[in-house]
Amino acid sequence: MAVSTPDTIVQGGKGGAPKSPNRRWAMGFLIAAIVTYLFYAFVVPNLGAAGKTFVSTWIPAVATNEALVWVICAVGLNIVVGYAGLLDLGFVAFWAIGGYTAGWIMSTFIQAVNPGFYLASAAYPDQPGIHINWWLVLIIAACLCAFAGVLIGAPTLRLKSDYLALVTLAFGEIIPQVFLNADKFTNGARGIAPLDNVSPLPFGPSAITIGDVKIPISQPLGPFDTSAKFLLFAIVAAFAIFVSLRIREGRLGRAWLAIREDELAASMMGVPLMRTKLAAYAVGAFMGGMGGVVYAIHTNSVFPDRFTFSISILLLAMIVLGGMGNVWGVMIGALGLAWFNSTGLPQFGFWFNGQFGTEINFPSYSFLILGAILVLMMLFRREGLFPETRTRQILREAERSDAEELDGGEV
């Protein structure tokens, strides 16, 4: 989690924008992650019954972990949408590819469809299938997704704006359908479950024994080790954020900004449009793949019906709500909307129905409410809750030109 290396300050890549907020946000992230971990690992088990009920109702550990998945994916999509300005409505495709990669190479699944196949593994000597350490799976899936991103992007990115959005939408629909129907490779609607337990460390023994004392080092985490998994997920999220922040300051980040600002001018200044856009797609997909693996581990399974269009839309809403282009804003947006969707709204519904004796199915209205939020955002705070320094500029501009007009229109 070296988000705040001294270099961030030294390098003057972003010119006018101040550097210190990044360090403060990074510290905030670090502290929040540690506090959250300690809270779930040590405080919650010692709470009284009322406290436990409150936590499991309003801030369950499962929802917190899932929110991190959303953070990873939203930060990835932010590179495509926020940095490079390419509207992508099919990001769920990468989520799915990442998830299935995890399903394939860290479970007994291969044995089920291909009985002849057996890859021995030290961690699972008595089980068939492929069992690769999840850190490695993370890298493999991410790279595979980046490659898929380039494959999908190469024909798609020739299109502009609305047309690009439509084709990405189609890919977002096609890929989950492929996973659903390619029975032989994906187990169809039955999905892949369970996945392996994950070892926190990429190598080394799970525990060492000194004398009579057994010291756990890298005890595999099962489906119910949520607080330990939280730490792992937080590390992946931190990595995604770190990459996002770094990549923005440098020639690639500048090229993305330039394309977002004026595509034609950028190409006339020697920026290769196709390559630069593909890079945005690949990096975004890379993170989408990581998110997919993390989600598969979080739910300990992969099912094709989870990868719906609404995921792509929700991710976009997170970015718009948080502040397009600003990684930290996107993170807050993702945490907020993920909580709202998984916990806040259903629990509010239970409470409301209990209180007033109604039978309203609140979760089914989630997109109605989300839509209302977005409309209000567009009316009153178009730049998002935590906008980029640059974007905030546009609002001031409006005031400025009004003033100029009064001044006699002198430019």
Partner 1 sequence: MSTDVVTDVMPLTASNITVRFGGLVAVNDVSFTVPPASIVSLIGPNGAGKTTFFNVLTGLYRPTTGSVHLNGRNITGQTPHKIASLGLGRTFQNIRLFGLMTAAENVMVGMHSHTTSNIVQIVARTRHQRREEVESRAFAQEMLDFVGIGRHADEYARNLSYGDQRRLEVARALALRPKVLLLDEPTAGMNPQESAVFVDFVRRVRDEQGVSILLIEHDMSVVMRASERITVLDQGEKIAEGGPEDIRNNPRVVEAYLGRTGTEGSAR
Binding flag, residue 254, partner 1 (CB under 8 A): yes
Amino acid at 90: G
> Minimal distance in Å, beta carbon 39 to partner 1?
31
DSSP 8-state symbol, 43: I
Binding flag, residue 262, partner 1 (CB under 8 A): yes
CA distance 149 to 98: 12
- The CB density around residue 231, as the number of other CB atoms within 10 Å, is 16
> Minimal distance in Å, beta carbon 147 to partner 1?
14
Binding flag, residue 20, partner 1 (CB under 8 A): no
Binding flag, residue 264, partner 1 (CB under 8 A): yes
> Minimal distance in Å, beta carbon 306 to partner 1?
30
Task: Give DSSP secondary structure letters for 262-285.
Answer: -HHHHHHTT--HHHHHHHHHHHHH
> Minimal distance in Å, beta carbon 20 to partner 1?
16
Residues 112-141 that bind partner 1 (CB under 8 A): none
Binding flag, residue 15, partner 1 (CB under 8 A): yes
Among 72, 283, 290, 370, binds partner 1 (CB under 8 A): 283
> Minimal distance in Å, beta carbon 224 to partner 1?
35
CA distance 171 to 157: 13
Task: Give DSSP secondary structure letters for 323-357.
Answer: -TT-HHHHHHHHHHHHHIIIIIHHHHHHHHHHHH-
Closest to 197 (Cα-Cα) out of 289, 287, 106: 106
Nearer to partner 1, 267 or 308 (CB): 267
Nearer to partner 1, 63 or 81 (CB): 81
- The enclosing H or E element of 214 equals strand 213-216
In this structure, are residues 271 and 280 in contact, taking their beta carbons and an 8 Å threshold? no
DSSP 8-state symbol, 19: S
Binding flag, residue 258, partner 1 (CB under 8 A): yes
Amino acid at 158: R
> Minimal distance in Å, beta carbon 312 to partner 1?
24
CA distance 85 to 98: 24
Residues 361-400 that bind partner 1 (CB under 8 A): 390-391, 393-394, 397
Residues that bind partner 1 (CB under 8 A): 5, 7, 11-16, 242-243, 246-247, 250-255, 257-258, 261-262, 264-273, 279, 283, 390-391, 393-394, 397, 411
